[in-house]
Structure 1
């Protein structure tokens, strides 16, 4: 079974677009997990159930994201091995990554199960929804090991230039998720329990499918359970890229927890509205994220193959593609915002509160593009600490400071959402300056080395 595609040769724009399109659809299907939960409870349960599901999103992301960042490390390391045609290193990285996902996932189940109530109390979840939110969070965390196995395995597949396989997996598991949600909520009246069952089942299917790909008889890259171990050299490389990426993700999530705590102060209706509007924020993000993942894989393979001029061209084209798609999608969301929010709920109060978020945040989402694409390029170049440091200050730090000191000066819902655009702008400018500095340093050293050889 052929998994790999060489990203170091051929027309960049065509290959990049063909690489990113399945990533967009994959991200779309991943977001459907959450969107399906939200639609089903919003339409067929109650506004209380809708708020219960939405109240868990930022805290769940905070706990899981650190370890999801390690999958970025897997992607970069495997892309570099693939570009350098190092089959042995690629196999060691695969076995290390799958075992790492299992080792991390099992303790996280316990963290989510026993800590749900405390975590939700910490962010001021309203009393009338905290019990249901905690139950949903506990059940959701049962699927975390499977979620990690899928994401680590998919990172290896994408590093080899194949974005179609993960898409096919999520297409099937996403359909299963929606069907189970509808059956459990409409037929069996299970509420938040029903949507959690659908999500966990879909995650398990995704994980088993990834394992099946690597263990099939004709697999190009073979997973053997007897070889599952932590290979020190590959593990340290994954950590070097993945830990800063994970810290970056967890600090993003932490800043969103601060934003969520401010939103919680407006009550149940606003929490429900944020849950609905956040789905469209996530759909906008997946467009940018797909281009970022493409940038990481393209830059990683070309750095491994030592094709440095091609690296520069990849970054320019990735920025262009991402800006165009983000502007078009954001314009559509703002134009059709009322109808789109109405898909999730029939409560006009929820729709009106959700419109505030979409008008303010989605309309300027293109400001987020430089931060994501250039940050992805730096990670693909092996410079993972720098974009993390920039995001700590530019996005996370600014949002926390905004909620702590600026928002209290004018404690409106609009002022909460202004924090998004401000943080994207500051971080994007800083990321661009950092890339120009790193590019000059790295490529300058390479030119000097080539002249002396």
Structure 2
């Protein structure tokens, strides 16, 4: 059910909100584990490598729209924190229309690009046929994945992170059952694994729609709300496009790593793919804290509580470091055993190479945790520029390391591309957030307790008008100090 993130101890609120996200990400990664285990055991290491060879391409094509649709939910969270019900409805309608358009475009164009793109990536001939089929089926079903991502983001934007978890668990359970049935018993091949994912996502979309219709009145757009204006679209795209671009930049770096791996042979591709499955579970846990921080900051920024934002971000950063240390140690110790779940005991070279990646990444998670928290917090403040810049830095460092270190040291050089990219990005994020924190310190806090039913007028640096409408129709970045005097004098109570 809807819940305000503008009251209560910040670290408790963030932790409570993030726990369902943590569980959801674990469940999601577990069903991806199940996919990989079924594919690897029933279809062989080459089939598993073929699925892995599509990862960076799908991340590039799907990641942009995933990032964009997640950005569409931030204005909704800001409007909900400000208590403006009309603006929440308009935001929902605008984001839904834009998500639907993006889904249709991706479903139409994506399958046509899959084969040529995989060829440009120098995908090994032995993997090409299965990789193409898996990518095409996944892209044809992209609308179900994107719509679920957007609907789940909307529900979280109003403070409910538990309900998307329930739907995700049901979807993952269905996906595991379908993969076992289609791949294990019906011999559906890697295309069958992709079909199972699409069908399970479609079921989760239906569950989200039914739940929103019956239980969450604030997310029900009225007929007039569907008449979105150019300003509405621009405001949502202003956050959505940079977030999508940021995801694409990271995906391009991942694609470059994939190209470097393809030149090292099938064993390296299989090892990196398998290690990535294990690694992604730990990374997803850290991402959850970052997402919780983003929603926390967005609601409190909309509710005029810079004091809570400052405390919450510091506390979330320390939580992410603690979690990162535990996760890193766990993967370093138990990584080889987890790898054998995918490929068995007969692929010793794959296990050894994959374990190397888990050791390198696990030792550097303490950098990745704060990266997610600071990036999410800046996005919650409406700042899409710095997160995009850090994405560019990650791209440059990841590609440079993959090409240069890969040519000198081989597989282990490619593996180091990810941690080096994290270091480059977090340096910029720390500096950017410290600057934002100084501006937050100079902002006045709304008196009393802010709830979603208490509208608060905030300044939006557009035409000088001081209304709640400005906040939610145009998610604004943190005001510059020069605007402080006008902001204080114009705040309505």
- TM bin, normalised by shorter chain, reads over 0.9
Report the TM-score, using the length of structure 2 for normalisation: 0.87
| Residue 9 of structure 1: aligned partner | 7
CA contact (8 A) 2:64 2:244 kept: yes
- The 2-side partners of 1:85 and 1:227 are apart by 17
For the pair 1:363 / 2:392, whether they are aligned, the reply is no
Return 435-444 or 371-380, whichever deviates more: 435-444
* Map 1:286-435 → 2, pairs under 5 A: 286-346=284-344, 347-393=347-393, 395-408=394-407, 410-435=408-433
For the pair 1:135 / 2:133, whether they are aligned, the reply is yes
| Residue 191 of structure 2: aligned partner | 193
- Residues 16-42 of structure 1: CA deviation (Å, up to 9, x unaligned): 111000011122233334322211101
CA contact (8 A) 2:390 2:425 kept: yes
- The 2-side partners of 1:252 and 1:63 are apart by 12
| Residue 162 of structure 2: aligned partner | 164
- Residues 223-264 of structure 1: CA deviation (Å, up to 9, x unaligned): 568964544333222211111111111000100111111111
TM-superposed deviation, 1:452: 5.8
- The 2-side partners of 1:424 and 1:121 are apart by 29
- The 1-side partners of 2:223 and 2:351 are apart by 50
TM-superposed deviation, 1:160: 0.4
Structure 1 unmatched runs, 5+ = none
TM-superposed deviation, 1:326: 1.5
| Residue 176 of structure 1: aligned partner | 174
- The 2-side partners of 1:228 and 1:451 are apart by 34
Change (3 A) 1:53 1:225: farther
- Residues 297-333 of structure 1: CA deviation (Å, up to 9, x unaligned): 1101111111111110110111011111121112111
Return 348-357 or 148-157, whichever deviates more: 348-357
TM-superposed deviation, 1:288: 1.5
- Residues 356-391 of structure 1: CA deviation (Å, up to 9, x unaligned): 211112221221122221111111111111121122
- The 2-side partners of 1:452 and 1:97 are apart by 33
CA contact (8 A) 1:99 1:229 kept: no
| Residue 111 of structure 2: aligned partner | 113
Look up the SS of the partner of 2:264 in the other structure. Answer: coil
Change (3 A) 1:8 1:413: same
Change (3 A) 1:31 1:304: same
CA RMSD of aligned residues (A): 1.9
- Residues 65-116 of structure 1: CA deviation (Å, up to 9, x unaligned): 1111122322211111000001111111112222222211122112222111
CA contact (8 A) 2:175 2:196 kept: yes
Look up the SS of the partner of 1:128 in the other structure. Answer: helix
Q: Across the two proteins, how many residue pairs are aligned to each other?
A: 449
